[in-house]
Amino acid sequence: MTDVPAITLRPYQHEAVAAVYDHLRRRDDNPCIVIPTAGGKTPVMATICRDVVERWDGRVLILAHVKELLEQAVDKLHAMAPDLWMKIGVYSAGLGSRDRDHPIIVAGIQSVYRRAAELDGFDIILLDEVHMVPPEGDGMYRTFLADAKKVNPRVRLVGLTATPYRMTTGLICGPENLLNEVCYEVGVRELIVQGYLCPLRSKAGRQKADTSGLHLRGGEFVAAETEALMDDDNLVYSACREIVEQTAERHSTLIFASGVKHAEHVQRVLRGMGRDCGFVCGDTLPFERAETLQRFRDGALKYLVNVNVLTTGFDAPNIDCVALLRPTNSPGLYYQMVGRGFRLHPGKTDCLVLDFGGNILRHGPVDALKFKEHDGGPGEAPAKECPDCHAVIHAAYSVCPECGHEFPPPEREKHDYQASTEGVLSGQVTTTEHEVIDTVFRVHQKRGTDENHPRTMRVDYYHSLNGFVSEWVCFEHTGFARDKAEGWWRQRSDEPVPESAEDAVAIANAGGLTPTVAVTVRHVAGEKYDRVISYRLGDKPGRLPEPEYVPADDDIIPF
C-alpha cells in the first residue's frame, strides 16, 4: 500500500473514530456518533472510508435521502481526502449516475433500496444526518439493510448526526431502531470552550407572539396556524426593526420564517427599511437559489430569509446573527436553526440569536437539550428573559450578566437544578487552578446499581480543609471510558493499567501514582458539579517500569 497524506483530526474526532471501531469489535449492533453542527463530521467519515478501503480492503456505502446531501458528501470527501477521488462513485437517479464498482459509493436511498444485490457487498454503511431520516423512510433503509446482509452478513451501519433525536418523533437510537446506541458524543459547550465552535448570545424579541393557542400535529406546531400567527403586520414590522437595530455592527443575518407568505412579508419590510434581503424556499429555482446563497456567503447580501431549506447541511461560516421568526416545538429543528451560527470565521467573535418565537424559553439552552419522550407537564422553565435588556439567560441567574438587572429571589426548591435547567450556553464559564493539599482514592459504586455493575475509582482533590473537587476513573468499563482511564493511568504511573477499581485504589494508596500538585477546575454557572480539565503533576514514582503495551491489532478488521 502506498503512503497517503494523513487526514488531520482534532482530538475528539480521533476519539470518535476509535469509539466506532471499538463498538464494532465488541458488539454486533449499529452505533451512532454525535458531533455538533460545525464540529466536523466529514473528517470522521473520510477517515473511516480510508481505513476500510486502504487498510482493510473493504467497501463503504454512504447513504442519504436527499440529492443535496449526496452532492455535499461527494464534494466534502474530495476536499478532505483527495487521494480517494478515483475510488468514489455515485448512484443516484436524481444526479444521473449509477456507479456500482467503486470501493466507496455515495447513494440516494430512493435509488438503491431495492438494488442491494446489484451494488455487491459492503462492509460499512455510513448514514449521515440521521436525524433527517423521516419515520416513514425507515422502511427503505430496513429493506436495503436486510438485502445488504444477504450479500455480506457482517455489514454494519454507522450513523452520524448533530442531534440524537428526530425533529419531532423521538430518539434515534434504541434496541429496535436502525441505530442502537450512541458510541461517542461530544457537546456544544465543550467544543466552544476548546475554541472549535463560535459562542452564542441570545435575546428575545421585544414584541413576541403568544404561541399558547397553537395546536400540535405529529409533534410540531400546525404550519398554517404558525404562519398566520407570525405574519401579523405589527409583529413583522417590530421584528424587522429590531433585527436591523441589533445587527448594525454585524455582517450576515440568517432569518427563519414560518411560511412563504411570511418570508415574503419580512423581505418586503426589510427592503422598505433600505436593507437588501434575499429569499429562498423549496420552490426557488436552483440557479436563483445558488446565486442568492453565494452572495450571502460572500458577504454581498447581509440579510437572507428562508423557509425550511437552510436548517441542515448549509454552511455559511460568516453568519453572525440568526433570527428565529418561526416557533417550533421540535428541539431538533430548534438546534439546527441555531446551529447555523456555530461556525468560526475571521473577525467573528460570537453569533447573536434573536428569538421572536419563544424557542429558547421553550427548549432551554441549545447546548443542554433534553428530548422528552412524554410530556411530563410544564415543569421548571429552563431559561428566563431579562425584562430590561431582553437577554435570554439561564433560569438560575439572580443578576443578568448582560445588563446587571437583579431578579427577585425565587422560592427555593429541595433541589436547585434539574435536567431541564442545565448550564446555558451564554452562562459564565470560569476556570480556576487550585493547589492540591491532599488526594483521596476510593472505590465507588453508583447508587442504585447491583453488585455486578462496573465500579469506578473516585479521586477527591482537596484544595482546602473542606474544599475538594472529584473525578471518576472507569477502569472496569469498556470502550471509550476504559480508554480514557488507561490514558489517565499512564500519565501517572509506570505500573500496568489495573483491571479493577479496587486494584487501582490499592496501587494509588501504596504510592504508585504521580502526585497531583494542582488541578484546573472549570465552573459553568447553573451546573451542579465543577469539572477538572487539566493537572499539574509531580514526578513519577520510582517503581518497576510498565511492561510494553501491545495495542489492539490495527490490522484486525472491526466489522
In a domain, 336, yes or no: yes
Task: Find the distance separating the first CA and the last CA of the chain, reported in whole Å.
Answer: 21
How many of the other CB atoms lie within 10 Å of CB of 182? 18
Residue whose grid cell is 406546531: 221
Q: Is the pLDDT of residue 106 over 80?
A: yes
Is 478 in the same domain as 511? yes
Is 35 in the same domain as 182? yes
CA distance 91 to 106: 6
In a domain, 301, yes or no: yes
Domain boundary among 369, 399, 424: 424
Rg (CA), the chain: 26
In a domain, 2, yes or no: no
Residue whose grid cell is 433503509: 141
Q: Is the pLDDT of residue 207 over 90?
A: no
In a domain, 508, yes or no: yes
Phi, psi of 169 (to 5 degrees): -105, 0
Q: DSSP string of 432-487?
A: EEEE-SEEEEEEE--TT--TTSPPEEEEEEESSSS-EEEEEE-TT--HHHHHHHHH
Alpha carbon of residue 242 to chain centroid: 30
CA distance 460 to 504: 14
- Model's pTM, two decimal places? 0.66
Q: Model confidence over 15-37: pLDDT tens digits?
A: 999 999 999 999 989 999 999 98
In a domain, 1, yes or no: no
The pLDDT confidence band at residue 419, using thresholds 50, 70 and 90, is: very low
Residue whose grid cell is 476519539: 15
Is 239 in the same domain as 137? no
Q: In this structure, what CATH number is given to the domain that contains residue 296?
A: 3.40.50.300
In a domain, 205, yes or no: yes
Q: Is the pLDDT of residue 73 over 90?
A: no
In a domain, 192, yes or no: no
Is 260 in the same domain as 173? no
The residues pairing with 32 across neighbouring beta strands, listed in sequence order, are: 159, 182
Q: State whether residue 2 is helix, strand or coil.
A: coil
Spell out the residues 6+ positions from residue 97 whose beta carbon is closer than 8 angstroms to its own: 89, 90, 91
Phi-psi region of 523 (alpha: psi -120 to 50; beta: other; left: phi over 0): beta
The pLDDT confidence band at residue 131, using thresholds 50, 70 and 90, is: confident
In a domain, 418, yes or no: yes
pLDDT-above-70 percentage for the chain: 80
Q: Model confidence over 489-532: pLDDT tens digits?
A: 999 998 899 999 999 998 998 888 999 999 998 877 656 677 88
Q: Write down the pLDDT at residue 434.
A: 87
Question: At what angle are helices 42-50 and 11-26 packed, to 10 degrees?
Answer: 50
Is 154 in the same domain as 282? no
How many of the other CB atoms lie within 10 Å of CB of 487? 10
Q: State whether residue 428 is helix, strand or coil.
A: coil
**Which of 354, 351, 517 is closest to 434 using CA atoms?**
517
- Domains of the chain: total: 3
- The C-alpha cell at 158 is 454507522
Average pLDDT, the chain: 82
CA distances from 227 to 232, 243, 295, 303, 542 (A): 9, 19, 27, 20, 71
Domain boundary among 130, 162, 186: 186
The pLDDT confidence band at residue 369, using thresholds 50, 70 and 90, is: low
Q: Write down the pLDDT at residue 547.
A: 41
Burial 362-400 (b: 16+ CB within 10 A, else e): bbbbbbbbeeeeeeeeeeeebbbbbeeebbbbbbbbeeb
* Residues spanned by the domain of 390: 197-424
Spell out the residues 6+ positions from residue 47 whose beta carbon is closer than 8 angstroms to its own: 7, 9, 13, 17
CA distances from 510 to 177, 326, 368, 437, 541 (A): 48, 61, 40, 18, 11
Spell out the residues 6+ positions from residue 457 whose beta carbon is closer than 8 angstroms to its own: 441, 442, 443, 444, 472, 473, 475, 501, 504, 505, 508
Is 332 in the same domain as 414? yes
Is 72 in the same domain as 163? yes
- What mean pLDDT do residues 400-417 have? 52
CB 186 within 8 A of CB 36: yes
Is 123 in the same domain as 147? yes
Is 248 in the same domain as 277? yes
Q: State whether residue 492 is helix, strand or coil.
A: helix
Domain boundary among 371, 398, 424: 424
CA distance 259 to 281: 9
Phi-psi region of 57 (alpha: psi -120 to 50; beta: other; left: phi over 0): left
- What mean pLDDT do residues 218-235 have? 92
- What mean pLDDT do residues 118-144 have? 81
CA distance 306 to 311: 9
Q: Write down the pLDDT at residue 314.
A: 76
The residues pairing with 221 across neighbouring beta strands, listed in sequence order, are: 216
- The C-alpha cell at 149 is 446482509
In 266-350, beta strands by DSSP E: 277-280, 303-306, 321-324
Is 96 in the same domain as 155? yes
**Dihedral sign of CA atoms 299, 305, 306, 312 in order:** positive
Spell out the residues 6+ positions from residue 415 whose beta carbon is closer than 8 angstroms to its own: none
Q: Write down the pLDDT at residue 174.
A: 83
Q: Is the pLDDT of residue 252 over 90?
A: yes
Q: Write down the pLDDT at residue 528.
A: 65
CB 475 within 8 A of CB 481: no
Is 437 in the same domain as 399? no
The pLDDT confidence band at residue 360, using thresholds 50, 70 and 90, is: confident
The residues pairing with 406 across neighbouring beta strands, listed in sequence order, are: 399
Is 317 in the same domain as 173? no
